[in-house]
Structure 1
Amino acid sequence: MNESEFDKKATDTLLTIEQGIEESGADIDFEAAGGILTLEFANGTKIIINKQGAARQIWVAAKSGGYHYGFVDGQWINDQGDGELMHELSRFIREQSDEEVNLG
């Protein structure tokens, strides 16, 4: 995948995350700027999701740790354990905020 294809897939993914949170009705504030999506929860904690163009990955920083996802067979897959981004992000949100958001 070239840089332009990566940028489009990653940007679309960040937008999908935003839409999923919006539609869930969960009490989660979010802000997107410069390829970084920050989720902020009522308890003051955050999850940061960002595009890493040089690595062609999406990185997630959550209370439980940092995770890197590469695009494999049509999905963003965790290079540290084979989990899928949307499924794992839904779990990170639940664990960190007690909000139920089903992203995938």
Structure 2
Amino acid sequence: MLDEAIYNQLIAAAFKRIVAAADALDPDVLEAESTGDMVTLTSASREKCIVNTQRAVRQIWVAGRSQGIHFSYDSATGSWLDDKGKGLELFRFVADVVREISGQELEYHD
């Protein structure tokens, strides 16, 4: 399990990346709100993608597209991958949900 300090750094970086990508879109199309342990992305139709921490298990959970996916950090690849082995990656999954709820492409910049 990840050390708490490292987990906190990874979470801060992931949330910052998601919010920055969302903020690049028209706020009338997609609005991003970050409140500590949660990022909420809300489309004009009021559909949501919710990204939040699960500190006890050192994961990020994402609710969207009528499902909830749990992502664990894979230090070998430097990626957040789903914990069921479905091949889902956090940032791609969030972008797919945003496309579905808003019709817009979420683009990440490093």
TM-score by length of 2: 0.86
Q: Which runs of 5+ in 2 are unaligned?
A: none
Kindly report which structure 2 residues correspond to 1:29-48, keeping only aligned pairs within 5 A, or say none.
29-48=31-50
- Kindly provide the CA deviation profile for residues 7-56 of structure 1, in whole angstroms up to 9, marking residues without a partner as x: 11011100110111122446211111121001110011111101111111
Matched, 1:20 2:21: yes
Unaligned runs of 5+ in 1: none
2:80 to 76, 79, 83: 76
RMSD: 1.6
- The CA distance in 1 between the partners of 2:4 and 2:104, in whole Å, is 34
Quote the Cα distance in structure 2 between the aligned partners of 1:22 and 1:31. Answer: 10
Residue 49 of structure 1 aligns to a residue whose secondary structure is strand
Are the aligned partners of 1:75 and 1:84 in contact in 2 as well (CA < 8 Å)? yes
Identity of aligned residues (%): 29
Partner of 1:55: 57
Q: Residue 100 of structure 1: SS of its match in structure 2? A: coil
Shift of 1:103: 3.3
Please list the CA deviations of residues 38-87 of structure 1 after superposition, one character each: whole Å capped at 9, or x if unmatched. Answer: 11100111111011111110000113300000000210001121211111
Q: Supply the AA of the counterpart residue of 1:48.
A: I
Report deviation, 1:92: 1.1
Q: Secondary structure at the match of 2:70?
A: strand
Q: State the 1:96 CA deviation.
A: 1.9
